[in-house]
Structure 1
Amino acid sequence: MAESDFNLFLVNSVSADDQRRPSVAQLANGNILVVWDSGKPVVVGGPDYPEVDIKARIFDPDGNEVVPEFRVNPVPGLSANGSGSDIYQISPVVTALANGNAVVTYATDESLAVARIISPTGSPVTGEIALDQDSPSIDRDVDVVALDSGGFVATWISSPNGANTYFEISARIFDANGSPATGEFQVSQINLDHQQFPTVTQFANGNIGFAWQTDGTYHIKGRVFDTSGTPVTDEYQVSTGVSGDLNNSRWNAKIAGLDNGNQAVVWGEANDIKVRVLGPDGSAVSAVFNANTYDPTDPTAIDGWQPDVIVLDDGRFLVAWANGYAGIRARVFNADGSEAVPEFDISPAADFNAQQEGEVEVVQLADGRLMFTWEEFTDEADGNGRGIEAVVMKLPTYDYDTGQFVSVGSAAVDDINGILVQDTGQDDLVVALDGNDIVDAGDGDDTIYGDSAPAGAAANLSLSFADEIAASTGKGKDRLYGGSGKDSIYGGGGRDKLKGEDGKDKLYGGKGKDTLVGGKDGDKFVFAPHEGKDKVLDFGNDKGKGKDKLNLKAFDFDSKADALDAFHGSGKHTYFKAEGTKIILKGFDHDDLGGGDLIV
């Protein structure tokens, strides 16, 4: 897996300029295609759309590169001061076709909404295909989805009068080769104001559902067509509430066709991510409800924006959204709109205070895992402006009887990121079994075991995992991470890495050659006889927020003075050796060690 203990990896390999607006799809061969636009940063007085090219890169399901980064648009774009070619290509969307290829749609500076079909290896199958039939002066905001027939339907905003007077929503259906199967047809029915941000899906009955924002009332609208482009319904309103209120405007709608025949529509509204379940004819199945848990009375609360929605293999649906400086979040719902998995975090805790993220997209892979990708707004991702990040993860499990997220590793090489399975401030128990596991607990006062949990702790897990816990031996190379709570982290019998992160944590290395990092605040490092050779990388380096201590109670020293006699070294080379256990305090000066550093 690529580049991170959190299963987090950088999508773009070229870091020059800004990388923005990612879209992701899993191809028929199982590989993952990510596309994005790449270009110059926006500057004051510069062009509104300085993007230059549409880039892409293909990965295997674990995030390893299969095809290096390549350009999708056939003619290279030019920077804002260039001439003689498209200045920009912008806002790509990708969908996988049944024949193994993929289609990428995007807008160009020539006011065209276009598509291009590419092979599973990234080679072009077609040139640029103009989506519109009448070539109006403005076409952009393209979305696309593959159809059961093997073709695809694309939708975009267009200005039929050839000027920026008003926008309507247009669409057209194509076969798998990119040849038009229908003419262009108008989706929006009422076009007194701008209609924008269209989204499209196919329902279980084969019909095609659209949703978009109308600029005058700031509501989300919808309409249904059959696969010949013939209307099945009139335009209907999805959102509720006050019309024409700019402060509570609705935007960035996304639509998904549910397995039971209904549809789920999500959108941003003020500080919230809204959801509504509707029938295949647009009739209401649920009221409008929130996906996020934004609390306007909390001064530290961060609003949600730019949502995405997908249908999971089991019929539930997942809503993901950007949460500003708090990263990427998601929540899972049953088909009727009731909660299935509470809100949880996607991006690693290390990112939260330094980065801002948005433009999230998610896809479920053939093996059931999820891949999220998003735009990193700062230079933290690739060191040079905006970058594209992604993470592959397992869908978290939540036990409503105990009120806890639960994740149990397998005997394979597992990545279990507790930021993914827990970041609601609750207290969790996580058990990693045999194999090379990665566990990150997130917030809350958590207990993490790199091997089997003791009998009393196992009761906190759902019974379905009891046999696995009893059978585990914890001999893998585990990486166990705490969060911002007071965490207790237990290594197993392998070469483990334990990191407490924030909070006053307890770290137990266990047997094997382990590496321990307490993180901020005063942490306790607990050792016992016959546990092998461990390293503590940051003992005493708690940034003034507490005092680290070594817990040596298991050695039965008569006094702290006796315990100090077991430490040796000079300068910044300090180690403890007794009863089959060796502890190296890396970078800690032996002369600075005193009884106050020990618990005996």
Structure 2
Amino acid sequence: MTTTPTPIGSDFQVNSHTPNDQQTASVASLQNGGYVVVWESYQQDGSQWGVFGQVFSPSGDEIGGEFRINAFTAGNQEINTDNTVGDNVTALEDGGFVVVWTSWGQDGSGQGVFGQRFDSSGVKVGEEFQVNSVTADDQREASVTGLADGGFVVTWGSWLQDGSQWGIFGQRFDHDGAAVGSEFQINAVTANDQESSSVAALKDGGFVVTWESWLQDGAQWGIVGRRFDGSGAPVGNEFPVNSFTPGDQWQPSVASLEDGGFVVTWTSWSQDGGGWGVFGQRFNASGETVGYEFQINSYTSYSQWQSSVAPLSDGGFVVTWSSFVLLGGFDYGIHGQRFDATGSPVGSEFDVNSFGPGDQWAPSVAALRNGNILVAWESWQQDGAQQGVFARHFDLDLPSLVPTNGDDLITGTSGNDTLAGLAGGDTILGDAGNDLLKGEENNDSIEGGDGNDTLEGNEGVDTLLGEAGDDSLNGGDGDDFLRGDAGDDTVEGGDGNDKVFAGRGDMGDDIILGGAGDDTLGGAQGNDQIFGGTGSDESFGGSGNDLIDESGTDASSNTAWAGAGQDTVIGGDGDDVLGGGAGADLVSGGAGNDVIYPGAGPDNDTLNGEAGNDTIFAGGGDDLIDGGTGDDLIFNGAGTDTVSGGSGSDTIWGAGGDDQFTGGDDADTFAFVQNNGTDTITDFSFAQLDLLNVLGLGLSSESEALAAMTDVDGNVHLTAQGTTVIIEVQTVSDFSSNSGWFDDTVF
């Protein structure tokens, strides 16, 4: 049930160093469920302003102590200026984060933008780096967001670079922190000033930038935005955000939403009937406005400003801001409002700070992976000195993405989530997006949802369902159940006796791997590839042109059945039972004493016994049969079959159809039944001690068989009870002059 955010405890102090001022906080939620807060601190780094941070665990405990972010300390290194709320820290896909700030004199000119990457525990990754490549005059007020490809993009204001006054520029970086391409201009309109950018990553892999522009909307300050794709190329033109233009609209903050769109908030003068007020506008994934701009603050006396917006996993968002004379009549306080996925307010406006005296302002809000939100801000004299950084958690009654050692329900968002269970029997639901979902110990249930997901069961008896998208599933240890479902999936059972399936109605071309253990494997309607692995497996191809392959594994006995389509079935080194399905199939036994069945219907199959003493049954089509090495037993079907016994002492039975038999090396037996059409033996050899079994034709002795023979065109024709056997390159005299060729074995 969606509710007004409920405070969890009271305000808590973020900074441990308290002399002088600590202010201008920025907060980011981390992939592991924790979060990081960064701020600027006066004279703590031995010079003037410096940038510091503190990492917190998912339970809100400090991880290590607060740490200095900037390595260069001369002069000022600041989070932001001009009363704006900055997006100066962002989480990265690798679990770490990156911080950006403004540094005076470091790039050889005035102000410049610098950054530093960290791992999830707050340890620096590489050296601090310069963001802006153009250094003339000033570059300041940076904003950063992590991108879906693991990299990030930074935006900032630059003086005179666009040919006018302040302009907005950006630079993309890859997952290793290396610059991608050159810095690029974001604002197309360059007249006057464009300042105070805010950037957010979009669900399509791109990003959106908003900023304030002087006189562009025909009044004074107005809010403008522009979308970019994943390569950094503009998507369309820049667009106006605010529709109400009198006076000033400034201090934008932007957040990506679960539906692929985004929301922008800003401060507007006199629009709410008071002084400054906070307003917003939603946009869809195509950058089109959704509804009208809306008022966020319900209390309108005096001024409400410095908004910060964060997306929620339910598709909604939450906004915080500074408000004058609301909480007990004390100066500025921090307030917030939650909105649902339609942009409607949820509950009422809520107080954030519990400490009242003095000013609390410049809030930064982030949605945490445990379903709560965290708000951080600067507070006057609350830490016993001057400005200090404080924060507070709020419960939004949203599903947690943070696991415990119990049996958790972990639900993802429509974004690209990384969700992992712990020791309990967890249920992990990916929802939309390209997710990485991991079970751990115990028996987990994992569902990918939409998107191209990666599911890992690890230990335990797990259930993995890929659902829509091109998914990769690996059961890990244990007797797992895996189903790829729609899309071109790769599904691997891993160790254990697994049940691994493409999924009912799945039209995708799947790769199914059993791994170790005695597995049950099944394809679906696509052209699937099924590899059994070690152990005694049972495989079903389903419809489509499938490959079922047990070769190169071990000597376990496998069972494999093709379905409809033109399939290839390959046995392993054990005694396998293999069968084709509807369609012209290729079935090869491999090593071992195999039993090979044809497909259903009159299709033309190729059946190969290969090594071992195999039993092969032909079907209703015109089949090609090769016994391979070993003493094989071959039964022909109703079609016109071509049979080669191969090496070994084979027994070949004629059935319906006009068949051709080649016994191959060693002593072979050719057997026939009545009403069998005309069959041909191409290599009957007295020297190899081949045998002729015609008991099924009512011929019970050698003399009766000789009486049924005639010489025709250099061959022997034996005709009895509706069956003719042509024995090539032999004569009746050859049979009468040799003995031992008549087989009286009753089968």
* TM-score, reference length from structure 1: 0.58
What CA distance in whole angstroms lies between the structure 2 residues aligned with 1:337 and 1:53?
38
Q: Which moved more, 1:50-59 or 1:11-20?
A: 50-59
8 A Cα contact 1:219 1:240, kept in partner: no
What CA distance in whole angstroms lies between the structure 1 residues aligned with 2:208 and 2:103?
25
Higher Cα radius of gyration? 2
- CA offsets 1:399-427 (integer angstroms, 9 cap, x no match): xxxxxxxxxxxxx9xxxxxxxxxxxxxxx
1:33 aligns with 2:36: yes
What CA distance in whole angstroms lies between the structure 2 residues aligned with 1:276 and 1:341?
19
Q: 1:200 to 1:51 in 2, by over 3 A?
A: farther
1:143 aligns with 2:143: yes
8 A Cα contact 1:233 1:281, kept in partner: no
How far 1:40 moved relative to its partner?
5.8
Query: What corresponds to 1:363 in structure 2?
Result: 366
What CA distance in whole angstroms lies between the structure 2 residues aligned with 1:289 and 1:170?
29
Q: Which moved more, 1:338-347 or 1:107-116?
A: 338-347
1:128 aligns with 2:133: no
1:73 aligns with 2:49: no
1:106 aligns with 2:108: no
How far 1:200 moved relative to its partner?
0.7
Q: Which amino acid aligns with 1:108?
A: S
Query: What corresponds to 2:169 in structure 1?
Result: 170
How far 1:201 moved relative to its partner?
0.9
- CA offsets 1:417-466 (integer angstroms, 9 cap, x no match): xxxxxxxxxxxxxxxxxxxxxxxxxxxxxxxxxxxxxxxxxxxxxxxxxx
How far 1:162 moved relative to its partner?
9.9
How far 1:268 moved relative to its partner?
0.8
Please give the secondary structure, in 2, of the residue aligned with 1:7.
strand
**Residue of structure 2 aligned with 1:20, choices 19, 23, 41:** 23
Q: 1:371 to 1:87 in 2, by over 3 A?
A: closer
Q: 1:339 to 1:393 in 2, by over 3 A?
A: closer
Query: What corresponds to 1:320 in structure 2?
Result: 320
1:155-554 equivalence runs, <5 A? 155-161=155-161, 166-216=165-215, 217-243=220-246, 245=247, 249-270=248-269, 271-295=276-300, 301-325=301-325, 326=327, 327-348=333-354, 351-352=355-356, 354-376=357-379, 378-379=380-381, 381-395=382-396
How far 1:264 moved relative to its partner?
0.6
Please give the secondary structure, in 1, of the residue aligned with 2:179.
coil
Query: What corresponds to 2:514 in structure 1?
Result: none
- CA offsets 1:170-214 (integer angstroms, 9 cap, x no match): 011101221012211111110111101101112222221111001
How far 1:144 moved relative to its partner?
0.4
Query: What corresponds to 1:561 in structure 2?
Result: none
What CA distance in whole angstroms lies between the structure 2 residues aligned with 1:145 and 1:107?
16
Unaligned runs of 5+ in 1: 42-49, 78-84, 296-300, 398-411, 413-600
Query: What corresponds to 1:56 in structure 2?
Result: 53
How far 1:121 moved relative to its partner?
2.6
- CA offsets 1:474-526 (integer angstroms, 9 cap, x no match): xxxxxxxxxxxxxxxxxxxxxxxxxxxxxxxxxxxxxxxxxxxxxxxxxxxxx
Identity %: 29
What CA distance in whole angstroms lies between the structure 1 residues aligned with 2:90 and 2:365?
12
Q: Which amino acid aligns with 1:7?
A: S
- CA offsets 1:97-150 (integer angstroms, 9 cap, x no match): 111221000010121111110122322212221112222321111000001110
What CA distance in whole angstroms lies between the structure 2 residues aligned with 1:204 and 1:303?
34
What CA distance in whole angstroms lies between the structure 2 residues aligned with 1:100 and 1:334?
28
8 A Cα contact 1:324 1:358, kept in partner: no
What CA distance in whole angstroms lies between the structure 2 residues aligned with 1:51 and 1:37?
10
Q: 1:346 to 1:161 in 2, by over 3 A?
A: closer
What value does the CA root-mean-square deviation take over the aligned residues? Answer: 2.3
**Residue of structure 2 aligned with 1:95, choices 55, 71, 90:** 90
How far 1:5 moved relative to its partner?
8.8
What CA distance in whole angstroms lies between the structure 2 residues aligned with 1:26 and 1:5?
17
Query: What corresponds to 2:587 in structure 1?
Result: none
What CA distance in whole angstroms lies between the structure 2 residues aligned with 1:60 and 1:104?
18
Please give the secondary structure, in 1, of the residue aligned with 2:342.
coil
8 A Cα contact 2:91 2:97, kept in partner: yes
Q: 1:162 to 1:367 in 2, by over 3 A?
A: closer
Q: 1:37 to 1:337 in 2, by over 3 A?
A: same
What CA distance in whole angstroms lies between the structure 2 residues aligned with 1:162 and 1:332?
38
How far 1:288 moved relative to its partner?
1.2
How far 1:62 moved relative to its partner?
3.5
- CA offsets 1:376-397 (integer angstroms, 9 cap, x no match): 1x21x21111000001121279
What CA distance in whole angstroms lies between the structure 2 residues aligned with 1:207 and 1:64?
34
8 A Cα contact 2:89 2:97, kept in partner: yes
8 A Cα contact 1:7 1:393, kept in partner: no
Q: Which amino acid aligns with 1:53?
A: G
8 A Cα contact 1:324 1:357, kept in partner: no
8 A Cα contact 1:222 1:282, kept in partner: no
What CA distance in whole angstroms lies between the structure 1 residues aligned with 2:280 and 2:93?
29
8 A Cα contact 1:138 1:162, kept in partner: no
Please give the secondary structure, in 2, of the residue aligned with 1:233.
strand
8 A Cα contact 1:37 1:51, kept in partner: no
8 A Cα contact 1:22 1:360, kept in partner: yes
- CA offsets 1:248-271 (integer angstroms, 9 cap, x no match): x11110111111122111001122
1:86 aligns with 2:75: yes
What CA distance in whole angstroms lies between the structure 1 residues aligned with 2:266 and 2:91?
24
How far 1:51 moved relative to its partner?
5.1
Q: 1:19 to 1:31 in 2, by over 3 A?
A: same
Q: How many residues align?
A: 364
Q: Which amino acid aligns with 1:225?
A: F
Q: 1:102 to 1:64 in 2, by over 3 A?
A: same
Q: Which amino acid aligns with 2:377?
A: W
What CA distance in whole angstroms lies between the structure 1 residues aligned with 2:358 and 2:277?
20
What CA distance in whole angstroms lies between the structure 2 residues aligned with 1:396 and 1:31?
18
Q: Which amino acid aligns with 2:65?
A: P
Q: Which structure has more strand as a fraction of its residues?
A: 2
Please give the secondary structure, in 1, of the residue aligned with 2:125.
coil
* TM-score, reference length from structure 2: 0.47
Q: Which structure has more helix as a fraction of its residues?
A: 1
What CA distance in whole angstroms lies between the structure 2 residues aligned with 1:261 and 1:371?
23
- CA offsets 1:46-67 (integer angstroms, 9 cap, x no match): xxxx951101112223332211
Q: 1:122 to 1:199 in 2, by over 3 A?
A: same
How far 1:69 moved relative to its partner?
1.1
Please give the secondary structure, in 1, of the residue aligned with 2:127.
coil
Q: Which amino acid aligns with 1:57?
A: Q
What CA distance in whole angstroms lies between the structure 2 residues aligned with 1:69 and 1:162?
38
What CA distance in whole angstroms lies between the structure 2 residues aligned with 1:87 and 1:143?
18
8 A Cα contact 2:147 2:206, kept in partner: no
Q: 1:94 to 1:51 in 2, by over 3 A?
A: farther
8 A Cα contact 2:53 2:69, kept in partner: yes
Q: Which has the higher contact order (CA 8 A, sep 6+)?
A: 1
Unaligned runs of 5+ in 2: 1-6, 81-85, 106-110, 270-275, 328-332, 399-405, 407-747
